[in-house]
Amino acid sequence: MKEPYELEWVDVAALIEAVKLAESIKPSQQAKRDSFRKFGVLGTRRDPPLTSIFYNIMLRLGLIDNLVREFSGVSNPLLLDANLRAALRVFIGLMVFNKERVRFRELEKIKNKVSKYLSEVSHPFVGMWFWDLVDELVGYEYRPRTIEEELTLKYLLPAWYVKKMRELIGEEEADALFKSFLKTPKISVRVNTLKASVEEVLRELTESGARDLEVSQIVPTVIKFKGPFNFDKSRLLREGKVVIQEEPAALAAILLDPKPGQVVVDLAAAPGGKTELIGELMKNEGVIYAFDVDSRRIDRMRKLLSRAGVTIVKIHEKDGREAPKIVGEEIADRVLVDPPCSSDGTLMKNHDLRWRLMENDVSKLAQLQYELLLAGLKILKPGGYLLYSTCSLLKEQNEDVIQRVLKKKKAEIVPIKGPYAEGFLPGTMRAWPHKHNTIGFFYALLTKR
């Protein structure tokens, strides 16, 4: 058994800051990098073990928040001061769910510093209460008290999601799916063919210390390798020779099959990975209208497109549902509708996301997806192609949305035959984490009557 990692004050401070930032900065990997950079941890020997501890905390955030409620007496941890909330999450995560993996070098000193800080930024009583709570956590043993808590502890997923996926694919296969969510996936990058070749990128990644490199059999420009990898120092990323993107996401743009000179509309484009690939496939000839409402993600898209050298994108900071009024109807040869979704197909990469999955959000997202799809069909020329894709595994956001559109008799399915598995609606396709060793994804290709 490995020796427990010895935590110093700076380690705990970096973890608290990372957990706090992860509430507002997505993905949580970026929040972790920002915090670790601030506290001088990034790129040091302390980075890998602390990264592992951070993800372990985020993976158990739902269980941790149950204990936050229990100890604090609040109905919702979000009612607490953000600094206190982050400190509670870290200390419960460390002292209850990581007690075999870590030990504190000077617990009294660390407890004193955190308590003093919380008193300064919040209220003196808060620091005193936190001090007493840390003493209470010493020796605390967590045991689930309900069936829901048992399911949550077993799968590290919300109980409603466990039940829903069991209904969809059966208990045995759902069990395999949930286990795949706990595996550490390889890092995936896609080669920007406007600037580099696969061979060139493979060579440079090898020289940079990337391990176990593998070229995708599905998308030959996607390279997978084992982490960790410091993208902050990567010349390949800085010069736009690679884009961080998963194989199924890249395949979406390829299935759309955009051609040079065409008019393409992307109705939920930011942060721009698929938009950029569409521009590559069009060889920078034609025009892409990219819509999104998230200004931060749009900023990331602008930087990505600039690095990658894709120059044919016209960005509209507007809701994609307004696109027919802005660019006109029946003007597009190709339309991509990759709408906001619950993103549960990416849980192995985004550990904290599982605790943001809310059952009552599913129907709201499905309605937004349906409305974006109808807007996309208005923009599409007769005979043109529209690809609908999500990184959700929930049928309500995939096949059910497509069936609603098909009932309006304004479009028909163009069958997709592989490389992944057929969906629950003939002609559609699904990538499954436990079957295809990748993130979960859904695809439906439509043409306008």
Q: Are 68 and 89 in contact (CB under 8 A)?
A: yes
Q: Are 280 and 193 in contact (CB under 8 A)?
A: yes
Extract the tokens encoding 402: 């497509």
Largest CA distance in the chain: 71
**CA distance linking residue 91 with residue 80, whole number of Å:** 15
- Per DSSP, the three-state class of 244 is strand
Q: Are 230 and 251 in contact (CB under 8 A)?
A: no
341 in active site:
no
Q: Are 211 and 159 in contact (CB under 8 A)?
A: no
Check whether the bond before 48 is cis (ω within 30° of 0): no
Among 277, 272, 415, 433, which residue's Cα sits nearest to residue 343?
A: 433
Q: Are 11 and 35 in contact (CB under 8 A)?
A: no
**CA distance linking residue 366 with residue 342, whole number of Å:** 10
Catalytically annotated residue among 219, 256, 391, 405:
391
Residues marked as catalytic: 391
